[in-house]
């Protein structure tokens, strides 16, 4: 591998350098909202750790208005709803037609982690590559990009920001053997399952709502646990009421471990503060579903947080146990806002507001943890 001089390395932005490295596979030549947790008083500079954040998208950073079919609002409530939605950033519609929202405060906090703490933000999702590519340009706050990379199809593909545009790191995707995955996909089609493989290359998905009931030989509820779907070279996970299948060499934990190792490799070459000595990395993960827990359990992870509509689960990598923030060893659920959040007892847009706030506090807690 080509080695750069220390002066050349320090001249470059470490985030940009990493992404150029990931695209090419080698080191390139030197280029020519108030929330309950406040971070305003945090003064970065001597924290000594470089945060790397791997975050799920839907239900974690991006929230949805889960509107019930029979929900009706009076004129006053509708006006209040429209006023609130106008303060949010609306993402492009997903393949299912849903619109996700992210708050300016969320984007501001992502930028704060990147800029004030030399952080690196990578979205990790089971979504299609086309969906994330459409959303990536919306992760911007006041002209500053809030993310550095995104991994789609459950960690099967990886795209990094290289000089302002996202490029696929093809050699990462080529590491995965797709033959067992494609064979299983064909098998599912043959026995009557409705398989969603549109715009997927390293994954396919089975939607519970799209199956034909008795016409399938394997019940949908048995997909995750049944021996009939255990195939060498293929992994599976539950995701938002669906079952995702992907190469066993893939997965959110795999891409997290890969990027972490590359970041450490660059650190050894001198990226960091003080006479070429690498900063200590501090790895965070954020998620809301079963497929995010696997990433959180990675031995390279220091801190994980799961914002939930009914509270949150937090896991510290060093202890390996779930714990409530600020309460040692206990496994508890709690509400970020101090309110008991029960679906159906408030309107969908009010629930969206609670979820958005939970996301903002999640990022604020990450910043607090950096300064521990």
Whether residues 165 and 269 fall in one domain: yes
pLDDT of res. 346: 61
Whose CA is closest to 305, among 237, 238, 370? 370
For position 306, what pLDDT does the model report?
78
The answer to whether position 45 is within a domain reads: no
pLDDT of residue 291: 76
CA distance 62 to 315: 21
211 in any annotated domain? yes
Where in the sequence is the domain holding 239, given as residue range(s)? 179-247
Q: Report how many domains make up the chain.
A: 2
Phi and psi at residue 307, to the nearest 5°: -70, 135
149 sits in the region (left: phi over 0; alpha: psi -120 to 50; else beta) called beta
- Is residue 13 within 8 Å of 21, Cβ to Cβ? no
263 and 341 belong to one structural domain: yes
Q: Do 198 and 310 fall within a single domain?
A: no
Q: First vs last Cα of the chain: how many Å apart?
A: 36
Buried b (16+ CB within 10 A) or exposed e, 270-280: bbbeeeeebbe
Asked if 158 contacts 149 with a C-beta cutoff of 8 angstroms, the reply is yes
Q: How far apart are CA 227 and CA 139, in angstroms?
A: 41
| CATH number of the domain that residue 129 is part of | 3.40.50.1000
Residue numbers in the chain where pLDDT is lower than 50:
1-18, 21-46, 69-70, 268-278, 309-312, 317-344
> Does residue 119 form part of some domain?
yes
Q: Which of 247, 263, 293 is the last residue of a domain?
A: 247
Identify the pLDDT of residue 370: 86
Are residues 240 and 330 both part of a single domain?
A: no
- Any idea what the Cα angle at residue 85 is, between residues 81 and 89, rounded to 5°? 170
User: Do residues 125 and 270 both lie within one domain?
Assistant: yes
User: 155 with 273, same domain?
Assistant: yes
pTM attached to this predicted model: 0.76
Q: In this structure, is residue 34 part of a structural domain?
A: no
The Cα–Cα gap between 288 and 239 comes to: 9
Question: What's the rounded Cα separation, in Å, for the pair 208 and 248?
Answer: 22
Q: How many residues does the chain have?
A: 372
Residue 21 lies in a domain: yes
Task: Check whether residue 91 and residue 213 sit in a common domain.
Answer: no
One domain, residues 159 and 213: no
Q: In this structure, are 267 and 341 located in the same domain?
A: yes
- Secondary structure letter of residue 334 according to DSSP: -
Q: Are residues 184 and 149 in the same domain?
A: no
pLDDT at residue 4 in the model: 32
Residues 17 and 271: beta-carbon distance below 8 Å: yes
Question: Which of 189, 219, 247 is the last residue before a domain boundary?
Answer: 247
Closest among 166, 215, 160 to 193, alpha carbons compared: 215
Cα 76-82-85 angle, rounded to 5 deg? 140
Q: Tell me if 79 is assigned to some domain.
A: yes
- Is residue 1 in a domain? no
CA distances from 182 to 125, 197, 204, 220, 333 (A): 20, 10, 9, 19, 40
Are 264 and 356 in a shared domain? yes
Angstrom CA distances, 45 to 115, 231, 272, 317, 369, stand at: 11, 49, 12, 25, 15
275 domain residue, yes or no:
yes
Domain boundary among 192, 223, 247: 247
Exposed (0-12), middle (13-18) or buried (19+): which is 231, by Cβ within 10 Å?
Answer: middle
> Is the domain of 190 the same as that of 320?
no
């Amino acid at each position: 591998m080509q080695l750069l001089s220390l002066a050349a390395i320090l001249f470059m932005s470490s985030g940009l350098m990493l992404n150029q490295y990931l695209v090419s596979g080698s080191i390139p030549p030197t280029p020519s909202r108030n929330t309950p947790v406040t971070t305003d008083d945090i003064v970065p500079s001597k924290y000594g750790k470089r945060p790397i954040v791997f975050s799920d998208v839907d239900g974690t950073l991006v929230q949805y208005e889960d509107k019930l079919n029979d929900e009706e609002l009076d004129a006053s409530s509708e006006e209040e709803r429209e006023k609130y939605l106008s303060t949010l950033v609306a993402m492009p519609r997903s393949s299912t037609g849903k619109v996700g929202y992210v708050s300016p405060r969320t984007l501001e906090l992502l930028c704060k982690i990147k800029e004030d703490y030399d952080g690196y933000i990578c979205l990790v999702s089971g979504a299609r590559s086309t969906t994330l590519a459409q959303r990536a340009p919306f992760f911007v706050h006041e002209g500053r990009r809030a993310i550095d990379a995104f991994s789609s199809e459950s960690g099967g593909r990886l795209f990094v920001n290289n000089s302002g545009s996202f490029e696929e790191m093809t050699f990462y995707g080529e590491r995965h053997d797709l033959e067992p995955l494609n064979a299983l996909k064909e098998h599912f089609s043959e026995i009557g399952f409705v398989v969603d493989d549109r715009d997927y290359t390293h994954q396919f998905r089975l939607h519970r709502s799209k199956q034909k009931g008795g016409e399938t030989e394997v019940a949908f509820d048995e997909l995750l646990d049944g021996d009939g779907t255990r195939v060498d070279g293929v992994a599976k996970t539950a995701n938002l009421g669906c079952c995702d299948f992907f190469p066993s060499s893939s997965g959110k934990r795999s891409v997290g471990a890969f990027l972490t190792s590359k970041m450490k490799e660059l650190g050894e070459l001198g990226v960091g503060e003080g006479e070429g000595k690498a900063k200590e990395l501090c790895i965070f993960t954020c998620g809301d579903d079963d497929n995010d827990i696997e990433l959180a359990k990675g031995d390279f992870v220091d801190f994980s947080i799961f914002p939930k509509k009914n509270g949150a689960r937090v896991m510290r990598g060093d202890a390996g146990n779930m714990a409530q923030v600020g309460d040692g060893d206990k496994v508890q659920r709690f509400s970020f806002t101090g309110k008991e959040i029960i679906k159906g007892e408030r309107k969908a847009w009010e629930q969206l507001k609670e979820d958005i706030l939970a996301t903002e506090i999640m990022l604020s807690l990450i910043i607090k943890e950096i300064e521990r």
